[in-house]
Amino acid sequence: MNFIDELKKDIKDTDDFIFKEITIGKNNITLIYVESIASSDNINNFILKKISFLDKLNSNDLTDYLYNFLPGANIQKLKDYNTLKEMLLNAFTVLIINKENILAIETRRDLSRGVSEADYEKTIVGPKDAFIEHYNTNLGLIRRRIKDINLHTKTYYLGKYTKTKVGIIYIKGICKNGLVKDIEKELQSINIDAIIDSNYLKRYLNTSKSLFPTIKGTERPDLACLSLLEGKVLIITDNSPEVLILPTFFIDFFHTSDDYYQKAINISFIRFIRLIAFIVAIFLPAIYIAITTHNPDSIPINILLSFQSQRLTVPFPAFVEAIIMIVSFEILRESDIRIPSSMGTAISILGGLVLGEAAVSAGIISPIMIIIVAISAISGMLMQSIEAINSIRWYRFTSIILASIFGYYGIFLGIILILTTLSDTKSENKDYLYPFSPINFKEQQDGFIKTNIKGTKYRNPILSNNHIRGK
Amino acid sequence: MKKYLLLLPILFITGCTSYIELNDLAIINAIGIESIENEYHLTASIVDTKDIETNDVKTIIYETKGTSINKIIDDLSLTLNKKIYISHLDLLLINESIKTKEFEEITNFFLNNNESREDFLVIYTNDIKKVLENTKLKEINDLIEINQNETSKSIYTTMHDIINNYYLKNDIYLTNIEIDDKVKILGLKKFKSNKYETIESNDTLFINYILNNIKSYKYSLECSNNNYLYLNILKSNINELNNKYLITNEIKVISNECNLTKDEINEVFNNYLKENLSRFTNKEINIKNTIRGLNEN
């Protein structure tokens, strides 16, 4: 059975595989391509047009002639049937000449969107471009910024059915070899049907049980480059606009790329605000519940009386009230993400009215609880990573439960729980709380406090052996 | 798993037993205690939460009597459908009926009650019920505090001070107030040897000197006909050593209409202090002043 018959048998009724027979003198050429991923224009202009001139020529070895003269940078001679199938599915056009020789020419259709603005990692200053779903474009966005021969890539094709192109990107000389090898080993061990998005890889690369994310995904090429220059490793996945940064530390979720484009003193202030927001996001509802149920003696009487008067008509205990509000907020947030943007305004108004005015008027929820949950929710949104936001949500629930049973004592138990979890967490065998635990005073220059670029002279010693920047 | 089991007992150290919903509390913000015929009479001001929406804290007055403070506080709950909550007590009013025996009972109560604090104001008045009914707690607190800080004509005595002084057998000084149209400071009451002595309002300053409570006050003297010397005493400190008082004052001259020199001002002010302080102590008094704001040229 020849390749053509074998292929026709394999694809059965699949109708986007196009077969075209061309006879030139004594030679018979079968042109095969997959219509849905290959570009018809490219095939017409660079293959069929060239072949149409062949009858005037008298070539003895047609395969060699086509290999040399067809205009295409990526043209390959194939030997076996499996490679032929793979090439077809990678948008190559295959020419089977006299049922023996096979040539594959890249005729990929551009299915990806253009480079656009970052969607969830917004910044005020700095570059606006973001990664897209195309591997080479993403790599190009990095190479455009780091023009160095030491920027290395290692490519893998993962997923039994998807054969998704996954690349490890690092800078040789900055990044420690051991880290790259560890990640390679982890990628090689992945055995899965499909890698649809880079988030699939997170599940395999993240061995920590912590709720806090230990791998950060970014859509910003500038942040990716900053990470590379720090000695970190990037993983680019084809068809995913999110590039993974490994390893990731807890403090990384308090940093944004435009932190490096503004005055250091302003950034130190903003990072301090982010830290407060993180604490408020987790503990504010719990503190309110502790005050109203166990520790009313801990606040001035005027505030206490204000709380008391606001809760007069509320039929639920503070704990139930908080859970109702937080669950309502989560429903609103989820519906806001899922529904089409044209209906977003209606839902926002409805949600705002129901959660705000109407719930208070009906005496179901006290105004102070709305304020508490709103501040807590908004504070939680300061994190740009959705996984970090989700982890905050779980710790918020945990601290609320602990506070409702034990009061302030419960909140301190919650703090101990979070600190021990964070201390126990590792990202690619590196301590997640670094540079705070273990403490490194030099690294505090870019921790919660930011010194100016001149001050950040040293690279993170646990990521790089090349310690001094600029050398 | 074993390590988690080890952690389990810490969950039972405290917790659910202290659970109480905020709206189930009857918050007492002020109480008056007097002793009549070997019985304690308690007048308690309990915050009425229903009126707070108008941003005006209104209170309801409850009265009980009994043979012990514990009992009368407990008896309050007979007329209330809420838990008595004493942590936010801000004011205790007492009158002449509270003597050594009663002080013993009161200090014992507050020392042994784990809910209450000891930083609330204690004052003396003969109009306990009238004061509680007709004035706002914040007004009284502010009146005493501002007068202590700005004029040194009151003493902010807390329960903590009373406990200390009572058990150290020191004199107890309480600000004495009365209510007419408004609350007014009359001076001090000094509790010593099971009886109260009255100290006039003008003399409160010197008691504050001796107790090292001076924060700031203003002094004026008619140095010649219709000409005045105005001083602002910004800071004062008293040290007691070998039966001697050493007083250091930081003084700012506001107005010097008689054109007195620094030495003359020193002399005038020192004489004024020595003369008045010697009425309250028989210890030797040395005064050292730092005078600012005087242009001697």
DSSP, residue by residue, A63-121: HHHHHHHS--SSEEEE-SHHHHHHHHHTTEEEEEETTTEEEEEE-B---SPPP-B-SSS
What residue of A is the nearest CA neighbor of B115? A297
Q: Give contacts of A293 with chain B, Cβ < 8 Å.
A: 19-22
CB contact under 8 A, B49 and A308: yes
Q: Report d(CA B232, CA B227) in Å as an integer.
A: 17
B85 contacts chain A (CB < 8 A): yes
Write the CB contacts of A117 (distance below 8 Å, at least 6 apart in sequence). Answer: A128, A129, A130
Contact status, residue B228 vs residue B214, Cβ threshold 8 Å: no
Look up residue B197 and give its two tokens.
């002595």
Q: How far is A363 from chain B (nearest CA, A)?
A: 14
H/E element, A378: helix A367-380
- The pLDDT assigned to A457 comes to 76
Q: How far is B15 from chain A (nearest CA, A)?
A: 4
Q: Report d(CA A234, CA A223) in Å as an integer.
A: 11
**pLDDT at residue B13 above 80?**
no
- Cis, bond preceding A438 (omega within 30 deg of 0): yes
Q: How many helices (H) and strands (E) does chain B have?
A: 8, 13
CB contact under 8 A, A294 and B57: no
What residue of B is the nearest CA neighbor of A291? B22
Look up residue B49 and give its two tokens.
């939460």
CB contact under 8 A, B15 and A311: no
**pLDDT at residue B163 above 90?**
yes
Q: CA angle, B180 as apex, B175 and B183 as ends, to 5°?
A: 40
- The pLDDT assigned to B116 comes to 87
Local structure of B182: helix, strand or coil: coil
Selecting from B10, B14, B22 the residue whose C-beta is nearest the C-beta of A296 gives B22
Global pTM reads 0.81
Local structure of A290: helix, strand or coil: helix
- The pLDDT assigned to A260 comes to 86
Low pLDDT (below 70) residues in chain A: 1, 54-60, 354-355, 455, 471
Look up residue A324 and give its two tokens.
């109702």
Backbone CA torsion sign across B4, B9, B13, B19: positive
Look up residue B207 and give its two tokens.
């008691």
For residues A54 and B82, which has the higher predicted lDDT (pLDDT)? B82
Q: Give contacts of B54 with chain A, Cβ < 8 Å.
A: none
What residue of A is the nearest CA neighbor of B16? A405
Contact status, residue B43 vs residue B104, Cβ threshold 8 Å: no
Of A201, A199, A183, nearest in space to A191 by CA:
A201
Give the confidence band of B180 by pLDDT, cuts at 50, 70, 90: confident
Q: How far is B83 from chain A (nearest CA, A)?
A: 13
B53 contacts chain A (CB < 8 A): yes
Residue type, A243: V
A301 contacts chain B (CB < 8 A): yes
- For an interface test with A, which of B27, B49, B120, B139 has the most A Cβ atoms less than 10 Å from its Cβ? B49
Q: How far is B116 from chain A (nearest CA, A)?
A: 9
What residue of B is the nearest CA neighbor of A301? B88
DSSP state, residue A333: H
Q: How far is A292 from chain B (nearest CA, A)?
A: 5
- For an interface test with B, which of A288, A291, A308, A424 has the most B Cβ atoms less than 10 Å from its Cβ? A308
B211 contacts chain A (CB < 8 A): no
Q: How far is A185 from chain B (nearest CA, A)?
A: 31
The DSSP secondary structure of A118-156, one letter per residue, reads -SSS--SSS--B---S-HHHHHHHHHTT---TTEEEEEE
CB contact under 8 A, A301 and B27: yes
CB contact under 8 A, B27 and A318: no
Rg (CA), chain A: 29
Order of strands across the sheet with A164-171? A151-158, A164-171, A233-237, A243-246, A216-218
Model ipTM over 0.95? no
Q: Give contacts of B49 with chain A, Cβ < 8 Å.
A: 305, 308-309, 312
Buried residues in B118-154 as b, exposed as e (16+ CB within 10 A): bebbbbbbbbbbbbbeebebeebbebbeebbeebbbb
What residue of B is the nearest CA neighbor of A417? B7
H/E element, B241: strand B227-241
Give the confidence band of B14 by pLDDT, cuts at 50, 70, 90: low
A311 contacts chain B (CB < 8 A): yes
A398 contacts chain B (CB < 8 A): no
Q: Report d(CA A272, CA B138) in Å as an integer.
A: 36
**pLDDT at residue B54 above 70?**
no
A407 contacts chain B (CB < 8 A): yes
Cβ-Cβ contacts under 8 Å between A and B: the total is: 71
Contact status, residue B22 vs residue A368, Cβ threshold 8 Å: no
What residue of B is the nearest CA neighbor of A313? B23
Q: What is the mean pLDDT of residues B167-189?
A: 91
User: Which residues of chain A from 150 to 189 reach within 8 Å of chain B, CB to CB?
Assistant: none
Of A468, A461, A429, A289, nearest in space to A372 by CA:
A289
pLDDT tens-digit profile of A195-211? Answer: 999 989 988 887 778 88
DSSP state, residue A446: B
Integer CA distances (angstroms), B175 to A20, B157, B186, B201, B218, in order:
109, 8, 8, 9, 20
- The pLDDT assigned to A58 comes to 54
